[in-house]
C-alpha cells in the first residue's frame, strides 16, 4: 500500500510539472525553421525583443520584421531547448539556435492569458562556442 501511494504522488508531481513547463510545439518549430511569421502569431501585442545589440519593446508586427531580418542573415540549422521551467501562468525556456553563421542563445518568456500562451519576451544573443 505504501509503495502505491508513493508512486501515485510521484506521478502527480511529474504530470503537474510537465503541464507547467509545456512549450507550444509551434514556437519550437518556428525557431527551428526561422519562420518569423509563425513565431509572431504567438507574440503578445507588445513584446520585449532583444536581438544581438538591438533591444526594445516592439509591436507584434515590428517584432516580426526584426526577426525576419535576423533569420534572413542567420539561416537556422537547428534549435534545441536546454532548460525550461515555470510557475503559475508563466513559462520560460532557454535554448540553443545553431545557424549557418554561428550559434545563439535564445531565451523566451511565455505568459498564458485566457488559456492562450503569448510570448512576452524573446532574447537572441550571440553565444561563444
17-49 pLDDT, tens per residue?
444 458 999 999 999 999 999 999 999 999 999
Tell me the domains of the chain and their CATH numbers.
23-126 (3.10.450.50)
DSSP 71: H
Per-residue pLDDT band at 61 (split at 50, 70, 90):
very high
CB 50 within 8 A of CB 124: yes
CB 119 within 8 A of CB 110: yes
The end-to-end CA distance of the chain, in Å, is 51
Distance CA 106, CA 104 (A): 6
What's residue 93's pLDDT? 97
Per-residue pLDDT band at 129 (split at 50, 70, 90):
low
Q: Evaluate if residue 74 carries a pLDDT over 60.
A: yes
What's residue 85's pLDDT? 94
Backbone φ and ψ of 101, nearest 5°: -110, 10
Q: How many contiguous H segments (helices) and E segments (strands) does the chain have?
A: 4, 6
Q: Give me the chain's average pLDDT, please.
A: 87
Amino acid at each position: 500500500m505504501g509503495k502505491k501511494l508513493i508512486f501515485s504522488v510521484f506521478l502527480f508531481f511529474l504530470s503537474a510539472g510537465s503541464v507547467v513547463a509545456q512549450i507550444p510545439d509551434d514556437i519550437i518549430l518556428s525557431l527551428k525553421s526561422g519562420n518569423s511569421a509563425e513565431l509572431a502569431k504567438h507574440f503578445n501585442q507588445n513584446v520585449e525583443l532583444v536581438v544581438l545589440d538591438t533591444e526594445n519593446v516592439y509591436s507584434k508586427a515590428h517584432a516580426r520584421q526584426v526577426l525576419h531580418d535576423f533569420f534572413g542573415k542567420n539561416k537556422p540549422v537547428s534549435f534545441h531547448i536546454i532548460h525550461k521551467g515555470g510557475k503559475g501562468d508563466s513559462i520560460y525556456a532557454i535554448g540553443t539556435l545553431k545557424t549557418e553563421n554561428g550559434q545563439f542563445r535564445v531565451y523566451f518568456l511565455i505568459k498564458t492569458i485566457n488559456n492562450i500562451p503569448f510570448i512576452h519576451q524573446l532574447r537572441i544573443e550571440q553565444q561563444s562556442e
